[in-house]
Structure 1
Amino acid sequence: MELFSSGEEIEWMRKRMEQLLDDFDCSSTASIFSTKNQQRSTDNYFYESADKISFFFEEKAFGEDGNLKQPKELSINKVGHALDELDPVFKSFSDSDKVRGLLVSLGYKRPIVIQSMYIFKQPGIGGEVVPHQDNSFLYTEPTTCTGLWLALEDATITNGCLWAIPGSHKNGLVRRFIRGEDGVTFDQPSPAYDQKDFVPIEVNAGSLVVIHGDLIHQSLENQSSKSRHAYSLHVVDTEGCKWAQDNWIRRKVEPTPLYGS
């Protein structure tokens, strides 16, 4: 099976993230990312990350004394949300001919990468990502969000692979994550999902998972001793659709389209 990314390209991105983590002063922030407590844990550091390279910790990374229980490189949940713009290594992949070609095949006319993330899924403490739809967070009218999820390590049931409900993208958007004057909130409560409806998406390193914006997907906690690194892009179209002003992302400068006039 031909993979989307070569071993060399994967190693290039992983080594670059090691450098970024080495340079990161973890005493400068203790911002935690949690999908279970998203409204409570969303802070100014998160808001300001829309056009920066910012670092977010796992909920279980800290002890009762407030200090990290393990080295910082094993404590980070993710880095985002503008790697594709600000770092040359991640920009090289995000703006590559193969990514552009994929988006052309999906019918995008003038796509932008609206957010990019390096996700660690740390061994032992990698947190659950609750069932969600990407269009909830990155809403356009009409909806155009697609997730591109590149496995930088093998993703298995054991170390927290993606799970999805087949065909759920055909049922429309369930709810939205809205930013107002008092912070962020969902406009509807979460439906109750039956875990028996989800199927695992186990993939090898170098595989790309393409996620429809209305697909209900999740990942479970990583309770294994092996991490599950991934690089994730979310793309929306800017031709024939409108970006919702009440999305959580409010950028100072608009992203440059990958192609299109």
Structure 2
Amino acid sequence: MPLLWYMCNNGTCCDVRLRKSNVVVVQYRDEGYLVLDGLLSPEECDALRDRMSEITEQMDVPEHCRTQFSTDHDEQLKKQGNADYFITSGDKIRFFFEKGVFDDKGEFIVPKEHSLNKIGHALHAYEPLFKAVTHSPKVQVMTEPSCCEGLQCIYIYIIMVFSITFFGTVGGAVLIHGEVVHRSAANTSDASRHVYTFHIMESQNTIWSPENWLQPTEELPFPSLYT
């Protein structure tokens, strides 16, 4: 289970740690990404997977809330644009599904564990294991500055007409600059892509745009990483 981090646009949250290697600094600033192997232990990854299996098995989603998640622009507008279930999920744990996992009556036609596209967006707040990872000293240190081989998880575009390929490792992390163009294609393999993704932004002298769909709430303000 790799971690996928989206870092602040100005890159300042990486500077302190990354000064130790000018090569790494140059790569991050020029290419907008870093691959960090071994951030989490295999045991930590297994614990996260086990807990996610429990959450998935226990989920009870009403039919009218069985929202398909899509990164396609037109499908986003169609499926999610007016869906309160998605828009109000910033301070909750909710389930979003792949295409073709329900029959005409809204019943599952695939195993629950294979039906999900994502679970969002407040695991870091309400699930102790995920909260511990998100706010762990290992992550905090990195901000002061194998997957299945052949299983495509993400495309990162260095130049708009080219993309790069790299292999991740179990417990590794991919740091992605906030301005990097990237995408994930549909998973058509028989292997699941287990990734825990969280976003980090610099809070000092930064204003969170009111136009962003995900907004902090009174119940769950954006937490400081150092908590």
TM over 0.5: yes
Name 1:154's counterpart in structure 2.
147
Name 1:38's counterpart in structure 2.
76
Mapping of residues 182-193 of structure 1, within 5 Å: none
Q: For 1:155 and 1:248, locate their aligned partners in 2 and report how far apart those are by CA, in whole Å.
A: 33
Change (3 A) 1:242 1:78: same
Query: Which runs of 4 or more aligned residues in structure 1 lie more than 6 Å from their structure 2 counterparts after TM superposition?
Result: none
Q: Name the structure where strand makes up a greater proportion of residues.
A: 1
Q: For 1:244 and 1:88, locate their aligned partners in 2 and report how far apart those are by CA, in whole Å.
A: 29
What is the Cα-based RMSD across aligned positions, in Å? 2.0
Aligned residues: 185
**Structure 1: where are the runs of 5+ without partners?**
106-152, 169-192
Percent identity (aligned): 32
Q: For 2:86 and 2:62, locate their aligned partners in 1 and report how far apart those are by CA, in whole Å.
A: 16
Q: For 1:24 and 1:9, locate their aligned partners in 2 and report how far apart those are by CA, in whole Å.
A: 23
Q: For 1:156 and 1:26, locate their aligned partners in 2 and report how far apart those are by CA, in whole Å.
A: 33
Which secondary structure state, in structure 2, belongs to the residue aligned with residue 55 of structure 1? Answer: strand
Mapped contact 1:10–1:206 kept (Cα < 8 A):
yes
Which secondary structure state, in structure 2, belongs to the residue aligned with residue 90 of structure 1? Answer: helix
Which secondary structure state, in structure 2, belongs to the residue aligned with residue 50 of structure 1? Answer: coil
- Superposition deviation, residue 60 in structure 1: 2.7
- Whether 2:206 is the aligned partner of 1:213: answer no
Q: Name the structure where helix makes up a greater proportion of residues.
A: 2
Name 2:42's counterpart in structure 1.
7
Which secondary structure state, in structure 2, belongs to the residue aligned with residue 222 of structure 1? Answer: coil
**One-letter identity of the residue aligned with 1:216:** V
Name 2:188's counterpart in structure 1.
223
Point out which structure has higher relative CO (alpha carbons under 8 A, 6+ apart).
2
Change (3 A) 1:65 1:24: closer
- Whether 2:144 is the aligned partner of 1:104: answer yes
- Superposition deviation, residue 73 in structure 1: 1.4
Which secondary structure state, in structure 2, belongs to the residue aligned with residue 77 of structure 1? Answer: strand
Q: For 1:51 and 1:201, locate their aligned partners in 2 and report how far apart those are by CA, in whole Å.
A: 33
- Superposition deviation, residue 67 in structure 1: 3.2
Change (3 A) 1:248 1:154: same
Which secondary structure state, in structure 1, belongs to the residue aligned with residue 217 of structure 2? Answer: coil
Q: Which moved more, 1:8-17 or 1:56-65?
A: 56-65
Aligned with residue 110 of structure 2, among 70, 83, 107: 70
Mapped contact 1:164–1:201 kept (Cα < 8 A):
no
Change (3 A) 1:224 1:257: same
Name 2:29's counterpart in structure 1.
none
Which secondary structure state, in structure 2, belongs to the residue aligned with residue 41 of structure 1? Answer: helix
